[in-house]
């Protein structure tokens, strides 16, 4: 993907003028990935946000990612180019709902997936990403009861890997949850030599079929190290750009047509440039919420996958 020269130069000038760094998720449009200073999954974006010396972080992703960057960097300006870029899964649980569940199970520790609001993180003991969710749960004493929010599919996968009996919130990613067994079988019949690699946000029926279940960053590492040449990918189709760029000698097939998150596609080059020009869409998190949420995120960052 060749970013038009006028945009390349314009955004580079704006970055220098504003003292900004651009962080982008793997699901972003190819041109956004190309112009970003760093591209990664939720865990690596959170880590990179704490490492950057830039005064302004432009987070090309969705709101919970920008909130996480702000929670971890209270003294920096965090901008979300498309303020309306949200996450349906994150909206499936509120802090009030989580507090009610905690009252029902006062003995339980709360683990929240980073795909959640700042308010939900503030009600949690630890956060996790799909990269380190298994490691996070394994770090909790085996006799300790666990509430896992908001993704039932990731929670089910973690339970299958750890043997833990967890209280799972019934949330899900509408994009990953939609992948059906029949679609996967049809794709496998069309590409019989291909390995099936899926994200743990897919349903248990799909993860049980897979050769590997990984976060986006984990899928990339799996593919790079695998001797196989063909792969069926069960995650958002924007990630195929990263896979093809890193492994040009291998073939990739999306598990279903239309495997796309519309919120992740709201940030375009003009939207990004306008955000930098005007310094608009600055993310704020009330300090009382930020402090509590930061504790849960920092505990997560201290646990390696």
Residue 136 to residues 50, 112, 148, 171, 274: CA-CA distances in angstroms?
19, 10, 11, 19, 38
**pLDDT 10s digit of each residue in the chain, 305 long?**
777 888 888 999 999 999 999 999 999 999 999 999 999 988 788 889 889 999 999 999 999 999 999 999 999 999 999 999 999 999 999 999 999 999 999 999 999 999 999 999 999 999 999 999 999 999 999 999 999 999 999 999 999 999 999 999 999 999 999 999 999 999 999 999 999 999 999 999 999 999 999 999 999 999 999 999 999 999 999 999 999 999 999 999 999 999 999 999 999 999 999 999 999 999 999 999 999 999 999 999 888 76
Please, are residues 263 and 62 in contact by the beta-carbon 8 Å criterion? yes
Q: What is the pTM of this model?
A: 0.94
Q: Which fold has domain 5-85+264-284?
A: Rossmann fold (3.40.50)
* 3-state helix vs strand vs coil in the chain, percent to 5: 45, 15, 40
* Phi-psi label, residue 278: left if phi above 0, alpha if psi -120 to 50, beta otherwise: alpha
56 phi/psi in degrees, rounded to 5: -125, 125
Tokens of 182: 């029949």
* Residue range 181-260, CATH number: 3.40.50.10800
Tokens of 232: 């069926």
- The closest alpha carbon to 24, from 68, 52, 60, belongs to 60
Q: Specify the domain boundaries for CATH 3.40.50.10800 within the chain.
A: 5-85+264-284, 90-172+289-301, 181-260
**Is residue 120 exposed (0-12), middle (13-18) or buried (19+ Cβ within 10 Å)?**
buried
CATH superfamily of 90-172+289-301: NadA-like (3.40.50.10800)
Q: Omega of the bond prior to 25 within 30 degrees of 0, cis? A: no
């Amino acid at each position: 993907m060749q970013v038009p020269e006028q945009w390349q130069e314009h955004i580079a000038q704006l970055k220098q003028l504003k003292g900004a760094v651009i962080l982008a998720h793997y699901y972003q449009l190819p041109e956004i990935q190309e112009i970003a200073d760093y591209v990664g999954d939720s865990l690596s974006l959170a880590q990179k946000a704490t490492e950057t010396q830039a005064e302004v972080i432009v987070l090309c992703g969705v709101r919970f990612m920008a909130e996480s960057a702000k929670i971890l960097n209270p003294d920096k300006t965090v901008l979300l180019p498309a303020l309306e870029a949200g996450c349906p899964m994150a909206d499936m649980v509120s802090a009030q709902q989580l507090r009610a569940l905690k009252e029902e199970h006062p003995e339980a520790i709360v683990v929240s997936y980073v795909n959640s609001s700042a308010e939900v993180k503030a009600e949690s003991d630890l956060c996790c990403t799909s990269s380190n969710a298994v490691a996070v749960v394994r770090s909790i004493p085996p006799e300790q009861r666990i509430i896992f929010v908001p993704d039932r599919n990731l929670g089910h996968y973690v339970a299958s890997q750890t043997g833990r009996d967890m209280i799972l919130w019934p949330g899900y990613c509408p994009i990953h949850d939609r992948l059906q067994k029949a679609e996967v079988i049809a794709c496998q019949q069309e590409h019989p030599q291909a390995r099936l690699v899926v994200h743990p946000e897919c349903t248990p029926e799909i993860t049980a079929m897979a050769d590997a279940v990984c976060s986006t960053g984990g899928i990339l590492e799996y593919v790079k190290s695998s001797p196989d040449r063909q792969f069926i990918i069960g995650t958002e189709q924007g990630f195929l750009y990263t896979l093809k760029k890193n492994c040009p000698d291998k073939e990739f097939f999306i598990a279903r047509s239309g495997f796309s998150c519309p919120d992740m596609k709201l940030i375009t080059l003009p939207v990004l440039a306008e955000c930098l020009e005007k310094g608009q869409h600055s993310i704020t998190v009330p300090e009382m919420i930020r402090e509590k949420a930061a504790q849960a995120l920092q505990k997560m960052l201290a646990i390696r996958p």
